[in-house]
Structure 1
Amino acid sequence: MTSKDPAVPNPAGQDHETVQIQRIAQRDPAAVSRSGARPGHWRPDIEGLRALAVGVVIAAHIGFPYTAGGFIGVDVFFVISGFLITSLLLREIDKTGTVSIAGFYARRAVRLLPAAATVLLATLLAAWIWLPRTRLGETAVDAATAALNVINIRLAQEGTDYLNAETVPSPLQHFWSLAVEEQFYLAWPLILLAIAVLGAKLSKPGKFTTARHRHRGPGRTIAIAVFLVIAAGVSFWMSANWTQSDPVWSYFGIHTRAWELAVGALIAVGAGLLRSVPRWAAALGSWTGLAAITASVFVLDERTVFPGTAALLPVAGTALVIAAGCVPHRFGAQTLLGIRPAQFVGKISYGLYLWHWPFIMIGPTVMGLEDVRLRHYLVLMAGALLVTVATFYLVENPIRTRKPLVQVPSRALAMGGGLIATALAASLFMYAQPLPNQSSDEAVEITGNETTVWELLGESSDTDIVPANLTPSLDDAVADVPALYEDGCQVDRNDPEVNEDCWYGDPDGDKTIVIYGDSHAGQWFPAFNQSATASGWRLLTMTKANCTVADIQEHDPILEREYTECEDWKEDVLDYLAEIKPDVVVATAYDRKDVIADDPDQAWTDGWVETVDRLQEVAGEVYYLADNPEIGLNVPGCLAENPQNASVCIGHVDDSNVDPERREATMAAVAEAGANVVDPTPWVCDLERRTCPVIVGNLLVYRDSNHLAPRFVSLLTPRIAAMIPLAAEAAAPGSR
């Protein structure tokens, strides 16, 4: 998000025409349109729109009531930026017949990079001091990609990776919108330059034609407009058609956001034609546009498929306000947007946007808060406002008004390169720092033979020291996943297809066991694979990201809609199981699901019973493996923060289930339906002390808040083999 157009802002460094436009605008904004000039650098209605945009973004981020749709503030900024920067480029073409690419990027460097680099470096320092050491590497990568304007691509990749579904948002995540704009403007000046050069060659000066008039030829304007219409149409088509199926890439990608910038650019191209609009219509249009933006904040929310067609409302509203401002009129929305508080917030909105998110993500830790309330966020935002004002007057303004930088593009570009290099160097330094040694002491190594997990489980709740031989290490915990992930046997969210090639165990076995479920089924793979191999059974894994096998309708938080791919996948899995007729099916899934139903708890229980009934039609034995206890906090992160007091990270049995009553009801219902019920809680928790240790011997139990670590699971094989014996003859399919 770029809150201000990056053109040279100081009158001393501007051309005479620009200075006159700004002076006239300050006295009579409507006179800018009457003057016949291109839109100027400053318009009070746009400044007010900036204030509105950053305000609703912050309101949504801090959970202010009824502002869940405040994320549309970014879309408002996209349209504003498209309009202002295109206006500047067109004015340059009008005057010179060309575009100075070096000058364009020099202006952007002077305007954007000082504040951005300040926030990046300050956030890296704050992360170093206050965030868990396990997050420093990711934060460093985020800072580097933010400095290079590709963080939106990184976030899209991370967001589609199921292993990162529970990752705490990055304190630099908000830089994605700046990356989208910079990617758009990497090509846009070059396209305008090409059109200008081509137009100049095709237009020969006549007897009564000056070079300046030739620059303003209607053919060039039409060519620019046609290009923008095509680009906007293609981008909007992709947004409307791809957001539903690929929401993460659609949200962060330039391909589905470019149309919003192009809409603003089209207004700049047609600014001259807009002057013929009646004043009363312009005033009405500005209020209508402001109402559309405001309505977006209240009618859209986190469940809205966005951007898609839903982005039309805030984009159209912003376009109406900006277009109306090109017409001389009174009593329009500018009377509200032009008030002094809005003008001040609009002036500093770029810095406020940059600072607010790190304050939200790191501020509660600095304040020692665990249960963060709205009042705490309001205090943090007051702090962000103070820091923003300081940054504006101490960093932004002094640099962007410095004549040696403003008047010599090479110096501005050198400064920008230096700031980017500094941010990259700081990121590299942080990334290269290893986690400090938690302890020089080594814990008892659990081999599964002489020393077993259950022998040490009872005394593990008193473990205070993170051992030096912890397996996996805190650095490696997040990436420590079962082998089926690398084999592509954990089906992604967007993929409804069944992978029929996920066979393990004994390839020559004549009996088959199936693990069926989501990642909480896949986490048990190491134990089932060992057991199947030892027993001479084939093992088939049927797992899909966040897809519960209960026969329910589910809302997915990443897709932000009904998880239809899960429903389709489950039907195809059951059809495939009917073909192979497995001897045993073990079904399990994470209990924390968003059930779409009037009575979610009853729908959950009924859904599991329906699934068990269908599985019993195709399999000899059906086991319902209840969900494992979850800790409720990121275990590696907690241990990294408390290396000498690891016991504060342990879980408690009474708090380890999503809904204990529903869990008990489901286990009873599926048992009555004929399934064998297995509760894994005694395998990972001390039922006498009612605690769930996170370190047992030298083993890390959880790789996040709810997934068990593969090495720990592999050493539970004897427990699983005792509860689900594969050596015994299974009943024939359909024998019940």
Structure 2
Amino acid sequence: MRLTNAHEPAKTSDDAAARIAPKRDPETAATKRTDQSSSARPSHWRPDIEGLRALAVGVVIAAHIGFPYMAGGFVGVDVFFVISGFLITSLLLREIDTTGTVSIAGFYARRAVRLLPAAATVLVATLVAAWLWLPRTRLGDIAADAAAAALNVINIRLAQEGTDYLNAEVPPSPLQHFWSLAVEEQFYIVWPLVLLAIVFLGAKLGRPGKFTLARHRNRGPGRTAAITAFLVVAGGASFWASAAWTAGDPIWSYFGIHTRAWELAVGALIAVAAGRIRAWVPTWAAAIASWAGLVLIVAAVFVLDEHTVFPGTAAMLPVAGCALAIAAGCVPHRFGAGALLGIRPAQFVGKISYGLYLWHWPLIMIGPAVMGLEQVRLRHYLLLMAVAFLLTIATFYLVENPIRTKRPLVQVPSRALALGGGLITAMLAVSILMVQQPMPAQENDEAAEITGDDSTVWEMIGESSDVESVPANLTPPLDAAGSDEPALYADDCVTSREGTDLAKDCWFGDPDGEKTIVLLGDSHAAQWFPAFNQIAEASGWKLLPLAKAGCSVADVAEHSNQLGRRYTECEEWKEKAFAEIESIEPDVVVASSYDEKEILADDPDQAWADGWAESLNRLDEAADRVYYLADSANPPGDTPACLAEHSDNVTACVVGIAEATTRPERRAAAIEAIEADTDATVVDPIPWMCDMENDTCPVVVGNLLVYRDANHLSPRFVAELTPQVAAAIPLEAQQVDTR
């Protein structure tokens, strides 16, 4: 998100915008600063926009720190998009009116000196802070985020990461807020080129009164019509995409420029029409519109929340509000919202809003670790925001303002571009350096390797809760745990959250087997694949895994936090899975799911229990035997991250069985209903991974890491549990004719 200052730098000889005479520029904003002694303020400076910036950054921060009743503060991003569309287009149109063309090098040079110094400062500082205070297991991902931010593609990276179900429990990146900057930079890359193309085509056509490259101040009606037509078509297509695709693909819709471009286009349209707005709109109407716009923005903050399907059509509320406020400011009027937006505190916050936006999120994400806080209260966040404010002021006066007003950079675009290229290269270099940082060398002793022959998980589970140090031969290593997935994922045999079709060509075990076992459920079912695949191969059975991200087997309606709505894709996929099972009539079905689901029912736990009974009875009609494999133990928090922080105190990551049991009441209700109302066999895996005598769930057993993330067992650990799984769910060996 670009929250750069509303005013231009000090006027220079080659700054097209600064050369416009105030009385002759049709696009000059009517509201001017009363203190004309400040030569740093150009004639088109808009104090109301400065105030809108302050409002926008304020509500964004309020939402991020959990300020009561302001969950919709994320709409501040949309306000910034509209502002950016207006300001950038106004600047480009003034340049066209003055010079007859657009200096692409000059435009990018101005963006470089304004945006990159502060962004580079915050990005490098965040990387260093992450290296010092966050678990080293996260450093690689954060460094990759930094590289993506430097290249202005972090919105694409975040969308890709957000669609990865196994990353759902990972804390947000301290650089996540750079996504909106990336969206704006992508707009900045395209929009000046489009305007230049329109000017060039107009010059080629050479029709009098329509297009010309001659220097003039009055825009030809043909050129204005062409620009307007492009904005209407492109913006309309983007709005349609936002309205049509957000519900089905909320992550890409939230981060993607394809569903955000219309917000920037709205601001650009106001810039194109500013002269007519000033000429046609009465002052009293402008005053009313300014207040109406402000009310719409504030209403969006309090009406919308994290459950709103966004952007979609809901984004119309803050966008319309901002558009009204900006358009109203094109008309000289009294008694409008500008009186409130123009107060000194709002002007100051608006002036430093870019840096404040950059600093606030890393402080929220890393600050609690610096302060040693496990539970963060609102008062702690307010203290961190005070620190962010001080850092912002320092960055503005020591980095941002001195560089963007430095004459050698402002006057010579090549120097500014060289500076920008150097800063991007430096950010990439620091990112690469951080990515290559190894985990701290483990000087601890090696643990006894679990082989399944001389030593087993079952034999060592009782002595593992007292392990003090992370073994040097830990498998998988902590820095590789996050990517240690069951083979199902590499083989594309787990349906994504957005998918509704069954994975194809996903038969495992013995391909020539005459009997079939089906493993059905979500990722907590898929985590058991290594054990069931070994059992199926040894028994001569075919194995068909049917798994979908976040989709339970129980016949219930679920809400997906990632999608922000009812998880209808789960219901559709589940029906196809049941139909497939009914068609193949397997010998055994094993069903399992994560208990942590948001159930859409008045009594979620009872609905969960009844839904499991309903689904297992249906499976029982298609299969000879049905097993309910209850959810595994899940110690709270990311286990590899905890171990990275406590490499010499592993017991800090060990919890009791009750604490490691997800929704114990729901789990107990489901087991009771299944045992009472179905013929399915209940299998409880918790004794396989927890020390029942000492009431603890170890996280390291021998040389094995038990959990690969916050709630999934590591594949190697599951593979070593094969004997326990085979004893609980026996498959008779296929008889082979040796004659």
Distance (Å, rounded) in 1 between the aligned partners of 2:431 and 2:667? 45
Q: How does 1:622-661 map to 2 (within 5 A)?
A: 622-661=626-665
Q: Report the CA distance shift for 1:16/1:591 in structure 2 as closer, same or farther (over 3 A).
A: same
Match of residue 26 from structure 1: 33
Match of residue 539 from structure 2: 535
Farther-moved stretch of structure 1 (162-171 vs 176-185): 162-171
1:680 aligns with 2:685: yes
Distance (Å, rounded) in 2 between the aligned partners of 1:5 and 1:379? 25
Deviation string 1:419-446 (CA, Å, 9 cap, x unpaired) is: 1111111111111111122235211000
Q: How does 1:456-495 map to 2 (within 5 A)?
A: 456-495=460-499
Distance (Å, rounded) in 1 between the aligned partners of 2:213 and 2:477? 73
Distance (Å, rounded) in 1 between the aligned partners of 2:21 and 2:688? 74
Match of residue 2 from structure 2: 2
- The one-letter amino acid of 2:3's match is S
Query: Does the CA contact (< 8 Å) of 1:5 and 1:81 recur in 2?
Result: no
Q: Report the CA distance shift for 1:323/1:727 in structure 2 as closer, same or farther (over 3 A).
A: same
Distance (Å, rounded) in 1 between the aligned partners of 2:651 and 2:610? 38
Matched position secondary structure for 2:661: coil
Among 296, 321, 333, the residue aligned to 1:292: 296
1:144 aligns with 2:151: no
Match of residue 235 from structure 2: 232
Match of residue 695 from structure 2: 690
Match of residue 273 from structure 1: 276
Q: How does 1:62-101 map to 2 (within 5 A)?
A: 62-101=65-104
Among 385, 391, 396, the residue aligned to 1:387: 391
Matched position secondary structure for 2:691: coil
Q: Report the CA distance shift for 1:529/1:24 in structure 2 as closer, same or farther (over 3 A).
A: closer
1:411 aligns with 2:418: no
Match of residue 375 from structure 1: 379
Farther-moved stretch of structure 1 (356-365 vs 285-294): 285-294
Deviation for aligned residue 1:619: 1.1
Deviation for aligned residue 1:254: 0.9
- The one-letter amino acid of 2:306's match is E
Matched position secondary structure for 2:559: strand
Distance (Å, rounded) in 1 between the aligned partners of 2:632 and 2:125? 40
- The one-letter amino acid of 1:428's match is I
- The one-letter amino acid of 2:714's match is A
Matched position secondary structure for 2:94: helix
Aligned residues: 719
Distance (Å, rounded) in 2 between the aligned partners of 1:471 and 1:45? 59
TM-score (structure 1 length as normaliser)? 0.95
Query: Does the CA contact (< 8 Å) of 2:540 and 2:733 recur in 1?
Result: no
- The one-letter amino acid of 1:683's match is W
- The one-letter amino acid of 1:485's match is Y
Matched position secondary structure for 2:711: coil
Query: Does the CA contact (< 8 Å) of 2:30 and 2:329 recur in 1?
Result: no
Aligned-residue RMSD, C-alpha: 1.9
Matched position secondary structure for 1:26: coil
- The one-letter amino acid of 1:712's match is F
Match of residue 103 from structure 1: 106
Query: Does the CA contact (< 8 Å) of 1:509 and 1:537 recur in 2?
Result: yes
Q: Percent identity?
A: 69
Match of residue 453 from structure 1: 457
Match of residue 249 from structure 2: 246
Distance (Å, rounded) in 2 between the aligned partners of 1:22 and 1:264? 14
Deviation string 1:64-100 (CA, Å, 9 cap, x unpaired) is: 1111111110010000000000000000000110011
1:196 aligns with 2:199: yes
Deviation for aligned residue 1:401: 1.3
Deviation for aligned residue 1:527: 0.4
Match of residue 345 from structure 2: 341
Among 707, 713, 717, the residue aligned to 2:712: 707
Matched position secondary structure for 1:211: coil
- The one-letter amino acid of 1:691's match is T
Distance (Å, rounded) in 2 between the aligned partners of 1:630 and 1:24? 60
Match of residue 674 from structure 2: 670
Deviation for aligned residue 1:200: 3.1
Farther-moved stretch of structure 1 (625-634 vs 280-289): 280-289
Query: Does the CA contact (< 8 Å) of 2:20 and 2:94 recur in 1?
Result: no
Unaligned regions of 5+ residues in structure 1, if any?
Answer: 30-38, 730-736
Matched position secondary structure for 2:180: helix
Match of residue 584 from structure 2: 580
Deviation for aligned residue 1:501: 2.4
Query: Does the CA contact (< 8 Å) of 1:115 and 1:395 recur in 2?
Result: yes
Match of residue 729 from structure 2: 724
Deviation for aligned residue 1:22: 8.9
Deviation for aligned residue 1:7: 7.5
Deviation string 1:153-206 (CA, Å, 9 cap, x unpaired) is: 111111111121111111001000000001011011011111112223434679
Distance (Å, rounded) in 2 between the aligned partners of 1:288 and 1:40? 26
Match of residue 434 from structure 2: 430
Matched position secondary structure for 2:50: helix
Match of residue 129 from structure 1: 132
Deviation string 1:245-270 (CA, Å, 9 cap, x unpaired) is: 11111111111111110110000000
Query: Does the CA contact (< 8 Å) of 1:5 and 1:41 recur in 2?
Result: no
Matched position secondary structure for 2:480: coil
Distance (Å, rounded) in 2 between the aligned partners of 1:213 and 1:63? 51
Matched position secondary structure for 1:249: helix
Among 365, 369, 375, the residue aligned to 1:365: 369
Among 601, 604, 608, the residue aligned to 1:600: 604
Unaligned regions of 5+ residues in structure 2, if any?
Answer: 37-41, 735-739
Matched position secondary structure for 2:519: strand
Farther-moved stretch of structure 1 (76-85 vs 592-601): 592-601
Match of residue 618 from structure 2: 614
Distance (Å, rounded) in 2 between the aligned partners of 1:44 and 1:255? 30
Distance (Å, rounded) in 2 between the aligned partners of 1:584 and 1:379? 57
1:112 aligns with 2:129: no
Distance (Å, rounded) in 2 between the aligned partners of 1:689 and 1:294? 54
Query: Does the CA contact (< 8 Å) of 1:57 and 1:73 recur in 2?
Result: yes
Q: Report the CA distance shift for 1:214/1:715 in structure 2 as closer, same or farther (over 3 A).
A: same
Q: Report the CA distance shift for 1:266/1:146 in structure 2 as closer, same or farther (over 3 A).
A: same
- The one-letter amino acid of 1:494's match is E
- The one-letter amino acid of 1:656's match is A
Query: Does the CA contact (< 8 Å) of 2:634 and 2:711 recur in 1?
Result: yes
Q: Report the CA distance shift for 1:728/1:620 in structure 2 as closer, same or farther (over 3 A).
A: farther
TM-score (structure 2 length as normaliser)? 0.95
Distance (Å, rounded) in 2 between the aligned partners of 1:99 and 1:661? 66
Deviation for aligned residue 1:659: 1.8
Deviation for aligned residue 1:117: 0.5
Matched position secondary structure for 1:708: coil
- The one-letter amino acid of 2:654's match is I
Deviation string 1:458-481 (CA, Å, 9 cap, x unpaired) is: 111111111111111111101111
Query: Does the CA contact (< 8 Å) of 1:243 and 1:308 recur in 2?
Result: yes
Matched position secondary structure for 2:72: helix
Q: Report the CA distance shift for 1:204/1:723 in structure 2 as closer, same or farther (over 3 A).
A: closer
1:49 aligns with 2:56: no
